[in-house]
Structure 1
Amino acid sequence: MEENSTDHFFKDKVLGHPSGLFVLFFTEMWERFSYYGMRAILVIFLTGAIIGDNPGWEWTSEAALSLLGTYAMLVYLTPLVGGWLADNKIGYRMAVVIGALLMTLGHASMAAETPTFLYIGIAFLIVGNGFFKPNMTSIISKMYEGHDEKKDGAYNIFYMGVNAGAFIGIMLCGWVGEKIGWSYGFGLAGIFMLLGMLQFYYAQSLFGNIGDKPKNENVDIIDDLANNYKEVSSRGEKLNRFLTIDYLLIGVFIISAMIFIINDPLSKIGNIYTFNFTVAGMADSLFFALLAAITFILLLLVRIPRYIPVERDRMIAFSIFCIFTIFFWAAFEQAAGSLPIYTRDYTNRILEGGAATTFKIVDLIVTVVPLCVITYVLLSLFRKTFNRIGLSNIILGFSFIIVWAIVLYKLYIEFQSTETEVPITWFAILNSLFIIMFAPLFTKWWDSKYNPPASVKYFLGLALLGIGFGFLAFGAKDVPLGAQTASLSMAWLVFAYLFHTLGEMCLSPMGLSYLSKLVPGRMVAFMFGVYYLAIAIGNKLAHYVGGDIEKITSEHGLSFFFLIFTFIPIGLGLVSLMLHPLLKKLMHGVR
């Protein structure tokens, strides 16, 4: 039997998989540590009181969430450029190193705690993410060529690294930021991003020539399109050329979207307006946002009908899923914006006596047990690779010594006090914790004969998300109109995060899965961009609306604010169910 070119990766295995997978596991883990760790404290820091033991900047929630929304939106768009550069110019591995280095500089800049360095830091994080994010999975895909039966398990392990990083990052950066100082929280994110980059850099020998700089340095997107044209023409398929109207709509969309993305935070943070006018009562930011949305919808309406019927129908189905995706993330991403403000201002987080002791024990278990599991994986990697990548292993081991030291110090401090104030950021770790707990059950469900169709999965995802916000709305029903503080039970937050996570597991994996099934190969890049654009818009919309939490709460009440995110997702979920016959017809047999 002929040996596959990637067989040598499987000769030195860790837990049944190539050792290189676990280098990627830890690299991704530290990147997610830094991303979620920084994000967990950003809004609390920006909106925190300007006086006190650990002062913030006392921004309005509108200003803070405007900045967060623009950051989150661009984080989902820059990988489209970074992925192309890695494919055609610099290679996957160099892209990962460049991205990690830029993100390290970004976190270090934010630790300076000045407005100028904050903006510089966020710019570095956005660009660095564009280089880093798309290329980790590309390396895995290349490593497993010819071993497709192992790919699902590899991606499951990799995404456990994603959730482990989010879990540890939120827990440690959140606790350090809140209890010791915001600069230390931001700085900690940067330290682990740097260590993650170094352990990856010194482990590159494990990957052979995977991710090297492309040999043909003159690869051009025009060449790609020309080759694509020849391939499609040779099969006798109809090529959907870009017409003048398409280019015109793309131009209007890009210009109006960029004006909105830049103008929104400028106007809310610095009272600086790119174009100072109103149209039909709308400020310029909202006008350009709506103009961008309308032109993009027109672009899809103009282009998609020109495809052959089966392709046209499937792309219409995928576009409908993208619309649901926008509204899902617009509600789900309140976890990064309005929910930390709600947790700080409206939740009773002070525990005493038996309740405090119970929390400390629960916190100890959920902190130490996952960390022990990850440490076991680390030791397994050491046993197999120390002779080959010793320096990488030493750096990785040093990073875990720091983690364990902070964890033990945190637990020591917490167990010394008789009264416990649960950190604001502690609740954000529940998402990763619930994913780790329930992911195996969902995997079994999707692999069984009871695997529901796409429309039902989108219904479940949206409905469960809405129910989560319903708990928050019910818990806040007695908060007086305009109240700036309250002492609501923490249980409402726990239920909300539980149902949000269950909804995420129903809907989140569906997008890329149906992209690969519904979209013809030559159109994957374009529709991949559409899908990521949908997530980006959802993130921006989340914080655009969430930034009005203070205004909506003062005018209509806190419960009304959460009812918005209750009824809209549930309503859209029901629309997905009603569209089931149409979607089934449009998908032409794809399940």
Structure 2
Amino acid sequence: MEQVPVSDLEQIQNFKGKYPRQLWYLFFSEMWERFSFYGMRGMLYFFMVHQLLMNKEEANLQYGATQAWVYAFTFIGGFFADKIFGFRRSLFWGGLLMIVGSIILAVDPKQFFFLGVSFTIVGTGFFKPNISSMVGKLYKDDDNRRDAGFSLFYAGVNLGAILGGYFCIAIGKREMFSTLIPEGLEWNVAFSLASVVMIISLLTFVRTQKSLGSIGLSPLTTVTKSKRQMLEWSTYLGSLVLVPIIMIMVSNTVYTDYFMYIIGPVSIIYLLYEMRGFSPSQNKKLFAALIFMLFSIVFWAFFEQSGGSLSDFAAENLNNSVLGFKLDPNGVNNSANSVFVVAFAALVGIVWLWLGKKKAEPNTVVKFGLAFLFLAGGFYLFYYTKFFADLQGVTSLNIFTLGWLVITFGELCLSPIGMSAMTKLSPQKTQAVIMGMWFLASAYGQYFAGLLGANIAQASANSSNFDKLIVYADGYKQLAIYALVAGVVLIVISPVVRKLMQEVK
């Protein structure tokens, strides 16, 4: 599938204007892949509770385990991309596995739920870290347009998330197209939609990859053809063997617990092993990257309540009106954040460029600190909804949506900036692995999000809907306080981290 380069790396990186044209191709490929991913993600908790009839505590743990595996496998996918496949082949293989997974779910989502999800997990691991790494390769190390480029790329991620996050769950709940879809097939159609858009994503990449020149080609150019084929086919077969193993571990969350106890320390040990061959300057940057990863775990543990406890909160405690428009509250919970990212990501990127010209742009550490302050504000608004509840425990979707608006600015200060920082702080040799570790930190965030959501669900078990609202709201207030503390700590230690980062801003 690899193409002969049509332009060298220097020609690509010497682009005029704000964005390289290759960024737009990757933008659209990622947009459709994220439609598929967020469509699936938005259905998981609701499907487990209302179709597989799990209790809410169990569903939160299953959701956290599933999402943890999705992001944990990006570390493994990044490793094989660095060592064997290259970014492009890894992305293509991952896309094929995601298509297979969503087709399996479309055939019979109840009977084959964990099998389909397991194919998606492995596929996402090969796809996700490598397309982000290719975005980083479009820029020279000292190009100050990089953050703006990642912000635009992140808008593509969220454009897909808007569509997938709203349409898939709304179709499954028969809130959309109910007259066109035979009763009993709504979930089959919802999952099949995820497979169709994933095919579009892969075709987009295949048709445009020639423009990437040498970016993402195999790292095995110096080995013999027979050895290269042996390594590649071993990786194909090994990833397929992992599917039933992951299926067992995802469906039994205690195995996920064991995995999470192991994968983090192992990844750090591997990084320390790689660091032996780097200069002290490079190693300081890698330590700075680890600090960002640790704080990102906390951020995502709170943020990812969206797929668990906030999904339950939306289903049972929110009305269906936003500014007078009737909308499905679960669809709003799944997609409001993405709507706001698309609306404001480019603007935030332009603001960073404008502040950079004025020499007033906050450094990456301060941006991370600001992310936590916004996160705290958003969760306080989730807490504040309890003051607008009726006697049945149903409260304002308007205020809930406003909370997501505030949190979105926090995400824009952390996620695209974090991806950009990982590519700037990591040496060429370990760039995909570092990007994989960035997503591995997200995996831990997802894992802890499931534990937090399960605790909230347990605390509200057997309560009236009004009492459940109070328990959830008070839980969100506690998360707001913790986020505020984390933000202040980051801003205070920013001078120390800046020294580790050296010339990287």
Q: TM-score, normalised by structure 2?
A: 0.76
2:375 match = 465
Do the aligned partners of residues 156 and 489 (structure 1) sit closer, same or farther apart at CA in structure 2, a change above 3 Å counting?
closer
> Which gives a bigger RCO, structure 1 or 2 (Cα 8 Å, sep 6+)?
2
- Considering only aligned residues, what root-mean-square deviation do their CA atoms show, in Å? 4.3
Distance 1:16 1:301 in 2: 35
Match of 1:111 among 99, 106, 114: 106
Alpha-carbon deviations, 1:441-489, whole Å to 9, x = none?
Answer: 3223323133123443222111210111111112226879xx9x62111
**CA-CA distance at 1:183 after TM superposition:** 2.0
Structure 2 unpaired stretches of 5+: 1-5, 179-185, 226-245, 464-469
Q: Considering only CA atoms, is the larger Rg found in Structure 1 or Structure 2?
A: 1
Match of 1:503 among 410, 426, 429: 410
Distance 2:127 2:377 in 1: 35
Match of 1:125 among 101, 106, 120: 120
Structure 2 letter corresponding to 1:342: F
1:567 matched to 2:481? yes
Distance 1:95 1:306 in 2: 26
Distance 2:287 2:223 in 1: 35
1:395 match = none
Distance 1:217 1:104 in 2: 32
Distance 1:132 1:564 in 2: 35
Match of 1:428 among 325, 334, 348: 334
Deviates more, 1:503-512 or 1:524-533: 524-533
**CA-CA distance at 1:188 after TM superposition:** 0.8
1:512 matched to 2:419? yes
Distance 2:281 2:79 in 1: 28
Distance 1:46 1:345 in 2: 15
Deviates more, 1:495-504 or 1:526-535: 526-535
Match of 2:494 among 580, 583, 589: 580
1:177 matched to 2:169? no
Do the aligned partners of residues 421 and 296 (structure 1) sit closer, same or farther apart at CA in structure 2, a change above 3 Å counting?
closer
Contact 1:176-1:184 within 8 A present in 2 as well: yes
**CA-CA distance at 1:129 after TM superposition:** 1.3
Structure 2 letter corresponding to 1:549: I
Do the aligned partners of residues 305 and 455 (structure 1) sit closer, same or farther apart at CA in structure 2, a change above 3 Å counting?
farther
1:45 matched to 2:47? yes
Distance 2:291 2:443 in 1: 16
**CA-CA distance at 1:88 after TM superposition:** 4.5
Q: Across the two proteins, how many residue pairs are aligned to each other?
A: 461
Do the aligned partners of residues 31 and 454 (structure 1) sit closer, same or farther apart at CA in structure 2, a change above 3 Å counting?
closer
Distance 2:62 2:268 in 1: 26
Distance 2:216 2:311 in 1: 39
Identity percentage of aligned residues? 31
1:486 aligned counterpart, secondary structure: coil
Alpha-carbon deviations, 1:267-326, whole Å to 9, x = none?
Answer: 56xxxx66xxxxxxxxxx768866877888899999999998766655444333322111
1:197 matched to 2:202? yes
1:66 match = 61
2:450 match = 543
Structure 1 unpaired stretches of 5+: 49-55, 221-260, 275-284, 360-419
Distance 1:524 1:201 in 2: 23
**CA-CA distance at 1:551 after TM superposition:** 1.3
1:552 match = 459
Do the aligned partners of residues 46 and 113 (structure 1) sit closer, same or farther apart at CA in structure 2, a change above 3 Å counting?
farther
Deviates more, 1:73-82 or 1:462-471: 73-82
Distance 2:141 2:431 in 1: 22
Distance 1:322 1:310 in 2: 19
Match of 2:191 among 180, 186, 190: 186
Contact 1:174-1:423 within 8 A present in 2 as well: no
Deviates more, 1:332-341 or 1:171-180: 171-180
Q: TM-score, normalised by structure 1?
A: 0.66
- How do 1:147-296 residues align onto structure 2 when only pairs under 5 Å count? 155-179=150-174, 180=178, 181-203=186-208, 211-213=216-218, 216=221, 218=223, 266-267=251-252
Distance 2:420 2:41 in 1: 27
Distance 1:16 1:308 in 2: 32
**CA-CA distance at 1:9 after TM superposition:** 7.6
Structure 2 letter corresponding to 1:337: G
Structure 2 letter corresponding to 1:97: F
Structure 2 letter corresponding to 1:424: N
Contact 2:102-2:194 within 8 A present in 1 as well: yes
